[in-house]
Amino acid sequence: MPVSGRTELVAILGDPIAQASAPRLMNALFERQGRDAVLVAHHVRAADLASALAGLRATQNLRGAIVTMPHKVAVVALLDALAAEAREVGACNVVRRAPDGRLVGTMLDGEGFVASVRRAGHDVRGARAFLAGAGGAAAGIAFALARHGATALRIHNRTRSAAEDLAARVRGAVPGFDVAVAAGPSPTGCDLVVNATSLGMRSDDPTPLDVGGLEPGALVAEAPIRPEPTRLLAAAAARGCRTHGGLAMLEAQIELMAEFVFAAT
């Protein structure tokens, strides 16, 4: 559909942004829906995030924005209201602009991850999970695993205090759930392993965990999106693990994001 003066805008904010797959996926969705809208990438550095949000408020034909790394946590303080999921997680990955310029955010990383796993024929229910990372995407996934029936969760992060904080918040939200900081970077004994760090976005990134601890048959999933298998997924496949790439997680979220952005206000 050609872009015109009537076309509604959606932004995606990130740093870096050139690698983003969301514009291709969401614009294809708009085309299928016959919606006169376009998603445009915005390269926004952390120091400029507040200014970028002010610009979104002032843009009358803007319906909302996807928020990606590294802004998912920082953007929370800049919004006018948060859905329950975003308040709980402390991060946001999609924003709706109300007609009066107010910005409302929610968090769909966790639900998108669970939905993508189910679409691939797997399930998180009953899983003993290992999660690398404690940032916005990791937090969304941690809460979703707890709410969707995982048996246990171990969180590994380079900054241990961040992992401890996330574990405590999940434990407080889902009493009785077995969640703790991992003893180290090895996922030994876990049948679901998730990388929700930024490691994997570049081909020369190291793996975010000890691949020697991967159990054959375990499901190893990535949040970072690359067109080819990351070093982690390649190592997992070599050890007889099932693998699940980050693009599947985003694909499962795209319709949810569009639904949120274009919801009646």
Domain residue spans in the chain?
A: 8-107, 110-249
Task: Say how many residues make up the chain.
Answer: 265
> Residue 16: exposed, middle, or buried by beta-carbon count in 10 A (0-12, 13-18, 19+)?
middle
Q: Which two tokens stand for residue 81?
A: 């209201």
> Cα–Cα distance between 94 and 136 in angstroms, integer?
12
Q: Are strands 94-97 and 62-67 parallel, antiparallel or unpaired?
A: antiparallel
| Third-level CATH fold of 8-107 | Rossmann fold (3.40.50)
Q: What was the pLDDT predicted at 19?
A: 85
Q: Is CATH 3.30.70.60 correct for 110-249?
A: no
Q: What was the pLDDT predicted at 1?
A: 67
Q: What was the pLDDT predicted at 265?
A: 53
In a structure prediction context, what are the per-residue pLDDT tens digits for the chain, which is 265 residues long?
689 999 999 999 999 999 889 999 999 999 999 999 999 999 999 999 999 999 999 999 999 999 998 999 999 999 999 999 999 999 999 999 999 999 999 999 999 999 999 999 999 999 999 999 999 899 999 999 999 999 999 999 999 999 999 999 999 999 999 999 999 999 999 999 999 998 887 778 899 999 999 999 999 999 888 767 899 999 999 999 999 998 888 888 999 999 999 996 5
> Cα–Cα distance between 99 and 59 in angstroms, integer?
10
Please pick, among 63, 72, 147, 226, the residue that the annotation labels catalytic: 72
Q: What was the pLDDT predicted at 158?
A: 94
Question: At residue 248, what is the residue type?
Answer: A
Residue from 205, 209, 166 nearest 184 by CA: 209
Q: What was the pLDDT predicted at 127?
A: 98
Which three-class secondary structure string do you get for the chain?
CCCCCCCEEEEEEECCCCCCCHHHHHHHHHHHHCCCEEEEEEECCHHHHHHHHHHHHHCCCEEEEEECCCCCCHHHHHCCEECHHHHHHCCCCEEEECCCCCEEEECCHHHHHHHHHHHCCCCCCCCEEEEECCCHHHHHHHHHHHHCCCCEEEEECCCHHHHHHHHHHHHHHCCCCEEEECCCCCCCCCCEEEECCCCCCCCCCCCCCCHHHCCCCCEEEECCCCCCCCHHHHHHHHCCCEEECHHHHHHHHHHHHHHHHCCCC
Residue from 260, 226, 255 nearest 30 by CA: 255
Domains 8-107 and 110-249 share a fold: yes
Q: What was the pLDDT predicted at 246?
A: 87
Q: What was the pLDDT predicted at 111?
A: 93
Determine whether 98 is an active site residue.
no
41 forms bridges with which residues in the sheet? Answer: 12
